[in-house]
Homo-oligomer: A and B are copies of this chain.
Amino acid sequence: MLQYQEPLDLAFQALSDPTRRRMVERLSRGPASVSELAEPLPMSMSAVVQHLKILEAAGVVRSEKVGRVRTCRVEPAALSAAERWINERRRSVERSLDRLAVFLDETKPEEEKTK
């Protein structure tokens, strides 16, 4: 279908793969080359580069090449966006649950209040 993907879609999709999260984990401890990223992973470097492209397209990782070495680092802003999305939903749910608790408490027979 080939349609436009908004940033949040790309970020969540990028993070949905365990290998890519391992790469982000590694990069969150500091910049690394593609080889360094690939070293602990049980797959070809080619596959790692493909994952890297997805992370970059999502804005989660940024990289620059100097000589023959490409150095990668995490871009915190893209992570923030995903984090915020989850946080907002979670807080919304928790607020609902609080209101429910208050409601249940207020509807309780008087003598049972303030457990």
Chain A interface (Cβ < 8 Å from any Cβ of B)? 8-9, 12-13, 15-16, 18, 21, 24-25, 27-30, 73-74, 76, 79-80, 82-83, 85-90, 92-94, 96-97
Give A85 to B93 CA distance when docked, in angstroms.
Answer: 19
A12-B15 in contact (CB<8A): yes
Is there contact, CB below 8 Å, between A92 and B29? yes
Q: For A89, what are the chain B residues with a Cβ–Cβ distance below 8 Å?
A: 24-25, 28, 74, 79
A30 to B83, CA, bound (A): 21
Q: Which single residue of chain B is at the shortest CB-CB distance from A14?
A: B16
Copies assembled: 2
Task: Name A83's contact: one of B9, B12, B21, B87 (CB within 8 Å).
Answer: B87
Closest-CB distance, A2 to chain B (whole angstroms): 15
Q: Contact check, B15 vs A86: say whether CB atoms are below 8 A apart.
A: yes
- Which residue of B is nearest A94, CB measured? B76
In the bound complex, CA of A8 to CA of B22 (Å): 12
Q: A90-B80, A92-B28 are in contact. Are A9 and B18 (CB under 8 A)?
A: yes
